[in-house]
Amino acid sequence: MNMQKRTINPWQWQQQRNYVQAVEVKDVSGTLYVSGQTAIDENGISSDADMRTQLIHAIANVERVILEAGYEIRNIVRLNIYTTSSAELFQNFDIFQEWAQKNQLQQASTVMEVKHLFETLQVELEATVVK
């Protein structure tokens, strides 16, 4: 059995924002639930860098977990983004959009501004991946 993925988009406007309204997945052989990934280094030290740098680092950490688990980045079906500043996140959203396009992502997403993340962190990415 091969996994089948179908996107549902009643509208077209979300395509400019690199996400879809819904993703239906059939014949899945595995599902990976990735905890929120942030700009924490290999020694567990939280970054105090700017939003752009933290977003790049968080994306790299998401990729590392997914690939180490034997899944593919393009099979992310849900990606939630938590940030302490939506304004700063969207000023740097080109980083996310380029990454999403490069990996041909078509995921359901939610962006949520929160009051605080762990220590000095500004952005956190939480993913669900299938194969």
Domains of the chain, start order: 4-130 (3.30.1330.40)
Beta pairing, strands 4-8 & 123-130? unpaired
Task: Give the span between the Cα atoms of 115 and 131, in whole angstroms.
Answer: 34
Alpha helices in the chain (DSSP H): 51-68, 86-91, 93-102
Residue 5 has pLDDT above 90, yes or no: no
Under the banding of pLDDT at 50, 70 and 90, the label for residue 82 is very high
Residue 84 has pLDDT above 80, yes or no: yes
Look up the pTM and report it.
Answer: 0.90
Report helix angle 93-102 to 51-68, nearest 10: 30
Task: Give the span between the Cα atoms of 89 and 111, in whole angstroms.
Answer: 10
Q: What is the DSSP letter of 46?
A: B
> Which pLDDT tens digit goes with each residue over 21-70?
888 888 889 999 999 999 999 999 999 999 999 999 999 999 999 999 99
Task: Give the span between the Cα atoms of 74 and 83, in whole angstroms.
Answer: 23
Q: What is the DSSP letter of 92?
A: T
Contact 53, 39 (CB under 8 A): yes
Under the banding of pLDDT at 50, 70 and 90, the label for residue 125 is very high
